[in-house]
Amino acid sequence: MLQTLKCLGVVENQKKGEYKASLIDIKNEKAVTLILLAIIATNSKAYYEIAELSQVPYMFPFSYSVSHELLYSSDLFVLNNFGGKVVVTGE
């Protein structure tokens, strides 16, 4: 796995046994939508808070922002109010 991360340019050797991780910044809205759909499809949670979707550990090495506008403008996500917070589910 470490070798794969090195090939992707995500991990660099600093010195023997020490590595530095770099993130891949995703700005394309279609790519972010795909990431969000993958998160929803692969987890057993019934819903996600919007802020929570930007901090899913298994989406490393990708860095992306989830905007309210993206979620509201897409028919792929359902937004609800749960406990006074806006939450997201897949359709």
**Counting every residue, how long is the chain?**
91
The pLDDT of residue 34 is: 94
Domain ranges of the chain: 24-90
User: Does the pTM of the predicted model rise above 0.75?
Assistant: yes
Whether 59 has a pLDDT exceeding 90, the answer reads no
> Does 84 score more than 70 pLDDT?
yes
Cα–Cα distance, 44 to 76 (Å, whole number): 18
pLDDT at 65: 93
Distance between CA atoms of residues 27 and 7, nearest Å: 22
